[in-house]
Structure 1
Amino acid sequence: MTELDEKLLHLTALRHKRLPELMERLQSGDDYLAGVLQCHLFVESLLEDLIRLCLGRHAEAVLSVQLTFKQKVAIVGKLELEPGWMLVEHEAIGSLSKLNSLRNKLAHRYGHELSEDDIRGLFVGCENTLGYGDVLDAGIKIGISRYAAFIFGSLLPKYERIEDA
């Protein structure tokens, strides 16, 4: 088994390990503000897992400097599983930057109201990979849950066999 094979299988194992946590968060009764904040926190922990996967024993040295979410996104956006094989697709990195901007608006602008355009904006550039039409056809709260599930799948793809890669 190659190093790439091991990393791909590790991604899938990580997906299976973290999936129950995602499902629990998606079923919470939080309002939309808490939903965005919970999604942001969950994604940040996934970014740290991805940094650990690629940097191995050097990851804790990098993570110990208390990187911001934006810095973690930038690092993950540049990491490769092997030369030419990006860890995370460019579209997902752009979406994560939008999530961070939205989180900052909600956390630092008193009274900022979350709009449908805010949620739709998280998916810009990713529309072709969605398995449903309008992400908000069931409302903003469900749209946030759909985003959390979408970005989870983008960060932790599933490989049943190495041939799936």
Structure 2
Amino acid sequence: MSAYSLALLFGAVGVLVLIAMWFAWRARGERDAAVTASSREPGGEVIERFPRAAYVSTTAEEAPLERIALPGLRYKGYSDLTVRRDGVTIEVTGERPVHIAADRVLGVGTTGMRIGKAVEQGGLSLLVWRAERARDGETPGETAESGRVLESSFRFADPAEQRRFAEAISALRESEIQHPA
């Protein structure tokens, strides 16, 4: 087999792999199209702001290796993360902002592994939240009030920033318990 034939063969295989990847990502986007964050932007008092938090991925609870292709949270990158009294806003660079109402935030956690990133144990912060489900995409047993539990993961520059994030989410949860919407 000549070098030219071999190059054509590898090129054809590469194109086929890229096409398959495109179809798979498109199918994932369609699968997750019914899952949404809150529609309203939080406007309450800012508890804490993290201007350069590295957004890693959003996964379903108990499925750390299955990425959720939620609009605004599809791709990893740096994000502007703002925790307010009435919710959280995640703005990943190049994506539209995602707003999560305070009553949807369930808590925080840490881990060492998510799809797309593996670090030391406890090196990633998790924002645990309940997504809304669009009315026309409901599945039996799910309503707009009871959506899927998701975990969005972030890598902070240092452990102090990670602790501030956990404290900010705790303050948000306390505020929500004291003053429900």
Please classify the TM superposition score into its range, dividing by the shorter chain length.
under 0.3
Q: Which has the larger radius of gyration?
A: 2
- Scaled by the length of structure 1, the TM-score of the pair is 0.25
Structure that is richer in strand per residue: 2
